[in-house]
């Protein structure tokens, strides 16, 4: 059962790694070759963990995350226009001076470290998952 758990968790970790690589690639593509477009704000959603604006540009709807403080302070209003960087083929928008890809790169570094440890220390991880490890809990 421990080996099954090990491989299942390794598979999930690998899937997360692939997802982060894809999202980071898209963020870098938007940063490097995205066009700056004027987008109209259609809806402002202020939530503590996920404040975002619903935008309309090039006759399609998009969404962009904004800081909660800016949202509740009324920086963004329905009907206003803002400049965003966009790549329509990826349906991704970013603020023009945003470095969103940096968080993706940090996540890739962390996930790479975890995956390397997970693969190199397979024997110890399987022992731990089976409950036969010599690790002492405090």
- What are the pLDDT digits (tens) for 24-44? 998 888 888 888 889 899 999
Residues constituting the chain: 138
- Say whether pLDDT at 74 is over 90: no
**Global confidence as pTM:** 0.70
pLDDT at 135 (0 to 100): 57
Bridge partners, residue 41, by sequence: 55
Residue 110 burial class via C-beta count within 10 angstroms: exposed 0-12, middle 13-18, buried 19 and up: exposed
Name which of 19-23, 53-57, 108-112, 128-132 the model is least confident about.
128-132
């Amino acid at each position: 059962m421990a080996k099954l758990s090990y491989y299942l968790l390794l598979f999930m970790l690998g899937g997360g790694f692939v997802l982060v690589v894809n999202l980071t690639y898209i963020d870098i593509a938007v940063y490097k070759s995205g066009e700056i477009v004027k987008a109209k704000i259609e809806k402002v959603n202020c939530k503590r963990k996920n404040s975002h604006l619903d935008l309309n540009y090039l006759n399609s709807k998009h969404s962009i995350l904004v800081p909660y403080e800016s949202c509740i302070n009324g920086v963004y209003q329905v009907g206003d226009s803002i400049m965003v960087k966009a790549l329509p083929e990826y349906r991704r928008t970013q603020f023009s001076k945003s470095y969103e890809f940096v968080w993706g790169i940090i996540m890739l570094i962390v996930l790479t470290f975890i995956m390397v440890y997970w693969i190199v220390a397979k024997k110890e991880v399987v022992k731990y998952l089976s409950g036969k490890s010599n690790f002492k809990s405090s």
